[in-house]
A and B are shown apart, each in its own frame.
Chain A
Amino acid sequence: MPVDMELEKVLRPYQYEMPPYPPKVITLANGKKMVVRQAAREDVPVILKSVHPCLFIERDYYDIVSARLYGELLAWYRHRVKSEYTLIGQIDGYLVGIVNGRMETDKVGMSYHTLAIDRGLRIGSHLFAAKMEYHLEYLGQEEVLIVAESPIGFRRWMIEYPLEETKIPHELGGGDSWRLTREIYFAAKPRLVVGERPVPKELMDEAEADIKFADDDTIRERIAGLKGR
């Protein structure tokens, strides 16, 4: 689309310097290796192809989470959100999960969404943990503000860490924010944050070569199929 660069400079928000998230590999319950790495802005069109079919899945609030994530990714792609980042999980090159967030200030992180495209493997838990790891260990922030839009998210984040309740409004609207402080994060880290670095070259090469994505029916089956998900 045509862009007026002079106006564009006004519309584009300020961006903090964001050190990269170092990739890691996690062995899942089924023995598969999931590479967790930072996505680049130019990856967004491919990632959106995996998010799109989830927009129509009502189960476990996938519709609302996917719709919001779709908008957030698009906003990042079109330079309409400040200091956003996206981490992805890939198994055999296939995209199996997405998390995103942004820097609200240099001290405060804003967690956006967690979308597991393959279920039953705690991919959401692993990716959410990676997101928190990024904010607190690599971006060097003091705290992250978090809300949950599904009971599963509430159980995974608010209860498992456990997060601290606040009266601070969250950017996503809805309920007030819950806060992950450095103290809570480092207390929870031994039981919730895993992964090995460096990622073996062959796995990293496979992940970076191409973000593969399953077809829409497969994604819907993996998320909302009847079998144990």
Chain B
Amino acid sequence: MRDVAVIGVGMIQFGRRDEDSLMDMLAYASLKALDDAGLGDQSVDAVYVGNMGGGAIQHQSAIASSLVDRLSLLPAAAETVENGPASGGSAVKNGLLAVASGYYDTVLVVGGEKMRDLTGWRATDFVATMTHPTAEYIYGITLPGMAGMFTRLYMEKYGVTREMLVAVAIKNQDMGGLNPYAHVEMAITKEGIYDNPASIVNNPVVADPLHLYDACPVSDGAAALILCPLDKIKNPAKPSVVIAGFGQATDTQTLQEREDPTDLKAVTLAAQQAFERAKLKPSDIHVAELHDAFTILEIAESEHVGFFKKGEGGKAALAGKTKLGGQIPINVSGGLKARGHPVGGTGVAQVVDIVWQLRHELPKNRQVKNAQNGLTVNFGGFGNNVLAFVLRRVQQ
């Protein structure tokens, strides 16, 4: 297997992009990545597109074929990868394997989603299609509903408090305000969303005990990256970053079938695989992008990947250990909470943000000082299909 480097990255601002079609967004992000890689007129061998809802929302399928044509990348191989909210991570994995195996030398991976065509409740219903059709969906379960029940159990078992969830929300929205690609730029305060009688309106219950600011927004957006073998890079203009390891694991589709619903086994296994392949351990990671579709998930994942012991993630968040400058900065981009969550785009965007961190390209107020290794976790379903990537800055 060959070492695989990320030689180009691109992202468009997440948010509500009424003027752009899904294909426009995928194309913009791709062009940025191609430009960042300095490929010029050189084409790519293959294109992998992570997307969950093109067929359901835009009535457009075979998106990768369309994108290749749109970008004049013919006759590159093209595939759309649908794996729920882990579609982006799965697209990255497919590109990684294609290059590592030696079948392709230059691969474009792009992930994106256009969800704001839908009203909020229809978007919630669309995302709920990933649940079990007869054991969950028909009873009206939604992802916020699942996350609410998960949070309640996690609170009871590990002593997580609302104050800890609030700390995560504030941290991530603070960082989103500094990220020009973020959907949510608005800073929030503890007084405004938790400590004041008006918070009952400012931050209403969405799915008890989760409140509005515990949830990520519904976003449009896209991100892209270019992969190639590390040994093909000659005189790089930018520091090289490799995907040093990846892991992927699945779990039961329904939460009720899990021995312990608070145990996110697929997160643990995916992270372990990624660390083993990268020959690194959690303490070697300097920056992480975790899948905080809900604030509780950032806390739970920070424990399941091994940054903190079970029951310590919430305390760590409250103590500021996951802030920029803390023990392990998590979601410096703002995470899904603030950068946004265009479902098929998230897994790619997480890798793009870590590449920027490892290249040391971000402004001081967002850059983790001297970051060498980063981790991403892309969480599909309610933890039933999880991908983790460990990225490493190559010493020149």
Interfacial residues, chain A to chain B (CB-CB below 8 A) = 26-32, 59, 120-122, 125-126, 129, 151, 155, 190-192, 194-196, 226-229
Partner of B198 from A28, A155, A190 at Cβ < 8 Å = A28
Q: Does B189 contact A (CB under 8 A)?
A: yes
Interfacial residues, chain B to chain A (CB-CB below 8 A) = 13, 15-18, 119-120, 176, 182-189, 191-193, 196-204, 213, 217, 340
Find out whether the CB atom of A29 lies under 8 angstroms from the CB atom of B189: yes
Complex alpha-carbon distance, A109 and B193, angstroms:
32
Residues of A within 8 A of B200 (CB): 190-191, 194
Residues of A within 8 A of B189 (CB): 29-31
Residues of A within 8 A of B183 (CB): 227-228
Find out whether the CB atom of A227 lies under 8 angstroms from the CB atom of B188: no
Partner of A227 from B13, B193, B198 at Cβ < 8 Å = B13
Complex alpha-carbon distance, A27 and B191, angstroms:
8
Find out whether the CB atom of A228 lies under 8 angstroms from the CB atom of B198: no
Can you name 19 A-B pairs with beta carbons within 8 Å?
A27-B199, A28-B198, A28-B202, A29-B192, A29-B199, A29-B203, A29-B213, A30-B187, A30-B189, A31-B191, A120-B184, A122-B202, A125-B201, A191-B201, A191-B204, A227-B182, A227-B183, A227-B184, A228-B186
Counting residue pairs across A and B whose Cβ atoms lie within 8 Å, the total is 74
B6: min CB distance to chain A, Å: 26
Partner of A228 from B119, B184, B197, B213 at Cβ < 8 Å = B184
SS class, residues of chain B in contact with chain A? loop
Residues of B within 8 A of A120 (CB): 184, 186
Find out whether the CB atom of B15 lies under 8 angstroms from the CB atom of A226: yes
Closest B residue, CB atoms, query A120:
B186
Q: Decide: A30 near B197, CB < 8 A? Known: A121-B202, A227-B13.
A: no
A38: min CB distance to chain B, Å: 20
Residues of A within 8 A of B204 (CB): 191
Complex alpha-carbon distance, A120 and B204, angstroms:
13
Complex alpha-carbon distance, A26 and B176, angstroms:
25
A91: min CB distance to chain B, Å: 12
B7: min CB distance to chain A, Å: 28
Find out whether the CB atom of B187 lies under 8 angstroms from the CB atom of A228: no
